[in-house]
Amino acid sequence: MSNGAMPKPEESDRADAPRHVAIIMDGNGRWAAARGLPRAEGHRRGVDALRKVVRATGELGISYLTIFSFSSENWSRPASEIGDLFGLLRRFIRNDLATLHADGVRVRVIGERGGLESDICTLLNEAEDLTRNNTRLTLVVAFNYGSRQEIANAAQRLAREVAEGKRDPATITTDVLGSYLDTSDIPDPDLIIRTSGEQRLSNFLMWQAAYSELVFVPIHWPDFDKAALEGAIAEYATRERRFGGLIAKNVAKTGS
Verify whether residue 74 is a known catalytic residue. Answer: yes
Residue from 26, 84, 103, 182 carrying the catalytic annotation:
26
Strand pairing report for 20-24 and 191-194: parallel
How many other CB atoms are there within 10 angstroms of residue 16's CB atom? 18
Verify whether residue 153 is a known catalytic residue. Answer: no
Q: How far is CA 15 from the centre of its chain?
A: 22
Average pLDDT over residues 176-204: 97
User: Residue positions in the annotated binding site?
Assistant: 26-31, 39, 43, 71-73, 75, 77, 194, 200-202, 213
Reported as a single tens digit per residue, the pLDDT across 102-154 is 999 999 999 999 888 898 999 999 999 999 999 999 999 999 999 999 999 99
Of 190, 159, 211, 248, nearest in space to 57 by CA? 190
Average pLDDT over residues 60-76: 89
Reported as a single tens digit per residue, the pLDDT across 77-91 is 888 888 888 888 888
Assigned CATH topology for domain 20-254: Undecaprenyl pyrophosphate synthetase (3.40.1180)
Average pLDDT over residues 72-77: 79
> Rounded to whole angstroms, how far apart are CA atoms 123 and 47?
17
Reported as a single tens digit per residue, the pLDDT across 219-256 is 999 999 999 999 999 999 999 877 666 665 554 333 33
Residue from 3, 48, 74, 84 carrying the catalytic annotation:
74
> Rounded to whole angstroms, how far apart are CA atoms 182 and 142?
10
Check residue 209 and report its DSSP letter. T
Domain boundaries, the chain: 20-254
